[in-house]
């Protein structure tokens, strides 16, 4: 009887070990990415260069010893420095929500047959690659893959912060105002405000707080009601005259289409502060 109990005990122990082994294989299978840990064991200081290629459009971010992370190519684009600084942090802390499929499955259904490709060039001479695909049907996740070829999902907001192009890297301070000042101090330096030629000093605060919401591209002014703007807002700052053109309302009802006199980029602005303008 004692030997039979011992046999049952040994069999139970073996079964428990087998179950534990299988579970470990499932959770820590080769090539898998943990949902809790970053997909790479990297720090920001490990990265020298980040290259984003979106269908032939390339952005290069470098870690300048004096300036920090900068957009080095293409040069001359007025870009948002905060985005450049956040990019390596987002990449080194990127985690997977869940595993979707292996590379044996067709990647086209995830938008990974023609992905946005991000290359990380490291100090040790190696490189890491990240491939970003489509947004999920639910809209709250985005598909991605790394060197292993396995398809995962990441948070959609993180995906948007990594899928950069010429438009969403642009500086949203479209009026070129001094953003180191408090909004009320900026407003105090805005003078001689005229809306369609009429004096309108009440818009000083709205102009001081104004930033672009979304960049839409160059030209096509007729499409947005900007060929003959509904409102032309002219004003003076310590850096000279500024002009903001406002066109049609955006379908969401919360924004206007707009542009400035010194470039051809169309963007949207919030109606907050401009509620006195009639739709």
Give mean pLDDT in consecutive 10-residue pieces for the chain, a chain of 279 residues.
Answer: 46 45 38 67 94 91 91 90 93 91 76 93 95 91 86 91 88 92 95 96 96 90 95 94 96 94 93 83
Residue 49 inside a domain? The answer is yes
User: Are 157 and 191 part of one and the same domain?
Assistant: no
The string of DSSP letters for 51-115 reads EEEETTEEEEEEEETTTEEEEEESTT--B-HHHHHHHHHHHHT---SEEEE-TTS-GGGGT-SS-
The answer as to whether 216 is a domain residue is yes
**Structure tokens of 4?**
């039979």
Residue at 208 is within a domain: yes
Please report whether residue 152 resides in a domain: yes
pLDDT at 28: 36
Return the SS3 of 20: helix
257 and 225 Cβ atoms separated by less than 8 Å: yes
Q: Are residues 155 and 187 in the same domain?
A: no
Q: Are residues 148 and 187 in the same domain?
A: no
CB 165 within 8 A of CB 117: no
- The parent domain of residue 247 ranges over 183-270
**Single pTM value for the model:** 0.71
CA torsion sign, 173 to 174 to 176 to 182? Answer: negative
Q: What is the pLDDT of residue 21?
A: 38
Residue 136 DSSP class = P
Question: Is there a domain that residue 19 lies in?
Answer: no
Let me know whether 85 and 148 are in one domain. yes
Q: Is residue 22 part of a domain?
A: no
- Give DSSP secondary structure letters for 142-166: EEEEETT--EEEEEHHHHHHHS--T
Closest CA to 151 of 91, 103, 109, 113: 103
Strand runs labelled E in 187-278: 191-195, 198-199, 215-218, 231-237, 240-249, 255-260, 265-270
**Domain-ending residue, one of 114, 133, 162:** 162
How many domains is the chain partitioned into structurally? 2
Same domain, 138 and 206: no
Give the CATH number of the domain where residue 123 resides.
2.60.40
């Amino acid at each position: 009887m004692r030997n039979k109990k011992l046999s049952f005990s040994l069999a139970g122990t073996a079964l428990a070990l087998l179950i534990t082994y299988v579970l470990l294989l499932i959770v820590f299978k080769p090539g898998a990415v943990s949902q809790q840990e970053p997909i790479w064991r990297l720090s920001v200081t490990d990265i020298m260069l980040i290259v984003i290629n979106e269908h032939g459009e390339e952005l290069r971010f470098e870690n300048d010893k004096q300036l920090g992370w900068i957009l080095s190519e293409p040069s001359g684009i007025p870009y948002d420095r905060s985005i450049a600084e956040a990019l390596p942090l987002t990449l080194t802390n990127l985690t997977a929500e869940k595993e979707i499929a292996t590379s044996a499955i067709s990647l086209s259904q995830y938008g990974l047959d023609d992905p946005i490709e991000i290359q990380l060039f490291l100090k040790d001479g190696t490189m890491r690659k990240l491939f970003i695909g489509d947004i999920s049907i639910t809209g709250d996740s985005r598909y991605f893959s790394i060197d292993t070829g396995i398809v995962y999902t990441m948070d959609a907001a993180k995906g948007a912060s990594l899928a950069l192009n010429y438009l969403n890297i642009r500086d949203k301070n479209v009026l070129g105002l001094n953003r180191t000042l408090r909004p009320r101090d900026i407003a105090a330096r805005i003078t001689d405000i005229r809306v369609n030629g009429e004096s309108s000093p009440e818009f000083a605060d709205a102009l001081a707080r104004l930033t672009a919401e979304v960049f839409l591209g160059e030209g096509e002014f007729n499409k947005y009601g900007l060929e003959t703007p509904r409102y032309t807002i002219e004003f003076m700052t310590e850096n000279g005259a500024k002009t903001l053109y406002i066109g049609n309302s955006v379908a969401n009802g919360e924004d206007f289409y707009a542009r400035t006199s010194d470039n051809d980029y169309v963007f949207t602005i919030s109606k907050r502060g401009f509620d006195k303008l009639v739709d």
